[in-house]
Amino acid sequence: MGERVASVMRYHLRSHWGFYLITLLVIAAGIAVGSIGVTLLPAEQAEELRMQLGTALAGLAELDEPRLVWQAVGQNLLSVGLVLFLGLTVIGVPAVLLFLLFRGAVLGFSVGILLMSRPTDGLWMALVALLPSLLLFLPALTVTAVAALIFSLWWIRGRQGQETTISLLKALGLYLGIACILLTVAAFAGFCDAYVTPVLLGRFFTPVVPAVN
């Protein structure tokens, strides 16, 4: 069973590696845009963000965990769900790519803020804070985007009268099955964001709040 699953995954990667390459390039471009955006912030706004980061670190012990869980899980499910929905539309390809660019920019901006606020340990903090996203959510979002792009292109070909090798019912069944798996991974990543990340940040980092003159 395991060997069969591995064989199917290898075949999938060989057949659709171009989609993964495009998806990762778009996310990388978004990260670059977000990182550059941090350097363009006015000094006053950058200082305000630095103070907000220090205040957030200082309040890690007083976080409302149930609310944080709902926010983290809900945000992940909304992102994956939106990409899956876009894949069902005829504008899925450009819309999915634009959303990936946006998510990459958010990630790049977050890392840039950490590096700007804490030059000595900002990179290490970024790795700790974004670990669930890097290990779970980002791969899930990438696979979701690829599935959405493939389905959207298949849907467009079908509407144009081109012959397809799979029926609509089977295609929808596969798409929904993949969607359930990816939504589960996204939800688990949200739980890790809510429970694991604050603990690691509170254990390894201390707040640095600039003094107010």
- The answer to the question of residue 55 being in a domain is no
Q: Tell me what pLDDT residue 156 has.
A: 80
66-72, long-range: CB within 8 Å, 24+ apart, which pairs?
68/194, 68/198, 69/190, 69/191, 69/194, 69/195, 71/194, 72/190, 72/191, 72/193, 72/194
- The answer to the question of residue 61 being in a domain is no
- The answer to the question of residue 209 being in a domain is no
With a cut of 50, list the residues of the chain below it in pLDDT.
209-213
Q: Tell me what pLDDT residue 170 has.
A: 83
- The answer to the question of residue 207 being in a domain is no
Q: Tell me what pLDDT residue 209 has.
A: 46
- The answer to the question of residue 118 being in a domain is yes
- The answer to the question of residue 23 being in a domain is yes
- The answer to the question of residue 57 being in a domain is no
pTM over 0.85: no
Count of domains in the chain?
Answer: 1
Structural domain that includes position 101 = 2-45+68-202
Q: Tell me what pLDDT residue 210 has.
A: 47
- The answer to the question of residue 146 being in a domain is yes
Q: Which residue has the tokens 């609310």?
A: 67
Q: Tell me what pLDDT residue 213 has.
A: 42
